[in-house]
Amino acid sequence: MKQVYILAIESSCDETSVSIIRNGKDEIATVVLTQMDIHATFGGVVPEVASRHHIENITMVIEECLTKASMTMEEIDAIAVTYGPGLIGSLLIGVQAAKTLAYIYQKPLIPVHHIAGHIYANNLVKQMEFPLIALVVSGGHTDLIYMKEDYSFEHIGGTLDDAVGECYDKAARVMNLAYPGGPKVDKLAHTGTDTYHLPIPLDDDSYDFSFSGLKSAVINLSHNEKQRGNEINVANLACSFQNRVVDILTKKTMKALKEYQVSNLIVAGGVAANKGLRERLEALCQEENINLSIPPIQYCTDNAAMIGAAGYFAYQLGRRADLTLNAKASERLN
C-alpha cells in the first residue's frame, strides 16, 4: 500500500498548529503554538488579536513541523486545512497558507471541517469502528453526530445557544476562576458536594442542548447570595453545575446510542478532557456494553493532527478544493 503523507493546518481559534500524518493514523510530527496566555489577560479569545498572532507564526510553525518530521514538502502528498467553522480572521490565515503551499508545490488541497477533525482525533489512537455516535463538546460546539461509515456525518442534535465549554468558562468567571475556567471548575467539582439547586437545561426527548439557562442560573444564584450577604461555597457550586451538565450530556448520548442501535461511542473536543464526564460515561458504557473511545488530552484540544487524520479519509474519497477555497465562520458538517 502506498503511504500517504498529509500536511495539515489548523488555525480556527487560538492555536496555530501544523502536523504531518501518515495514512490517517500515524502522527509523524505535530507543532501546536497556543495563544492561551495572551488571551487569558482578556478573559477570553479576542478574534483580532488571535488572527494577528496566526499571521506572525504560521510560517515558522510549518517550518518547525517539517524539521521535526525530517521531511521536505516534496515528500508530502496533500495539504489539508480547517476551512470552518471558527473565527473568520483566524481561519483565513490557515486557508491562505494552505493554498499557497498547494500552489507552489502543486499538491492537492483538502478542505476539512473542524468537527470532522475533532471526531477523527480518535483514529490517531485506535481505528474507528462504525456505526458510531460522536459527542463533540468544546468551547465552540456541542453536537451529537451519527456516522454510518467513514466520512458520513448525520448531525442529530446540537446546542441551540451556548456551547458547553463556553458555559463552563462563563460559570467559572462567576466563581472567580481565570480563563479558561473549564478545567478549574472540573477540578473544584471533585472537592465539593451537589448542594445547589440548578435547572437541567432542555431536558426533553430531542437531541438538542441549551446551556444559556444554566449559565444564567449560576450568575443569578451568585448575585442573590452576594446581596443577602451569604458566601457561596464555590466547590459545591462547581459540583452542582458539573453534575447538571454531565446529567444532560450523558442522558441524550445514551438515548442516541439506543435509538440508533449503535455500540460505539466516541467523545471529542476540549470538554472531552472533563473528568466528571469521562467517569460517568465510562460507568454507563460499561453497563450497556458500549465501546467508549476518548482521545488523550493533547488530541482533545485544537490541534492539526486531527485535521491530518480526517484529511486522509477526505483525500481517499476524492474531496478536493481549488484555489478559490474560502474560510467559513459557520458551516454545516457534511
Binding site residues, ligand KG4, CB under 6 A: 13, 138-140, 165, 168-169, 180-183, 186, 269-271, 273-274, 301-302
State the CB neighbour count (10 A cutoff) for residue 334: 10
C-alpha cell at 172: 467559572
**Shortest reach from residue 286's CB to ligand KG4, in Å:** 21
Beta carbon nearer to ligand KG4, 94 or 181: 181
**Shortest reach from residue 186's CB to ligand KG4, in Å:** 4
Chain centroid to Cα 197, Å, comes to: 29
**Shortest reach from residue 229's CB to ligand KG4, in Å:** 31
Closest CA to 306 of 144, 123, 133: 123
Beta carbon nearer to ligand KG4, 178 or 283: 178
**Shortest reach from residue 277's CB to ligand KG4, in Å:** 7
Q: Is residue 169 a contact residue for Zn ion (CB under 5 A)?
A: no
What residue 162 binds from Zn ion, ligand KG4, none (CB within 5 to 8 A, per partner kind)? none
Footprint of Zn ion on 120-159 (CB under 5 A): 138
Residue nearest ligand KG4 (C-beta atom): 270
Beta carbon nearer to ligand KG4, 143 or 169: 169
What residue 17 binds from Zn ion, ligand KG4, none (CB within 5 to 8 A, per partner kind)? none
- In order of 6, 8, 134, 166, 287, the CA distances from 128 in angstroms are 19, 20, 11, 28, 21
Q: What angle do CA 29, 311, 270 make, to 5 degrees?
A: 70
**DSSP alpha helix (H) spans, the chain:** 36-40, 47-69, 88-105, 114-120, 164-174, 182-189, 212-227, 234-259, 275-288, 297-300, 305-316
**Shortest reach from residue 180's CB to ligand KG4, in Å:** 4
C-alpha cell at 7: 500536511
Which residue has cell 467523545? Answer: 267
State which amino acid sits at residue 290. Answer: I
**Shortest reach from residue 306's CB to ligand KG4, in Å:** 10
What residue 16 binds from ligand KG4, Zn ion, none (CB within 5 to 8 A, per partner kind)? none
What is the spatial distance between Cα 38 and Cα 186, in angstroms, rounded to a whole number?
23
Closest CA to 30 of 72, 83, 71, 69: 69
What residue 186 binds from ligand KG4, Zn ion, none (CB within 5 to 8 A, per partner kind)? ligand KG4
**Shortest reach from residue 115's CB to ligand KG4, in Å:** 9
Residue of 119, 252, 302, 304 that binds Zn ion (CB under 5 A): 302
Q: CB under 5 A: which stretch of 24-32, 64-72, 119-127, 294-302 binds Zn ion? A: 294-302
Contact predicate 267/135, CB 8 Å = yes
Query: Which residues are near Zn ion by CB under 5 A?
Result: 138, 302
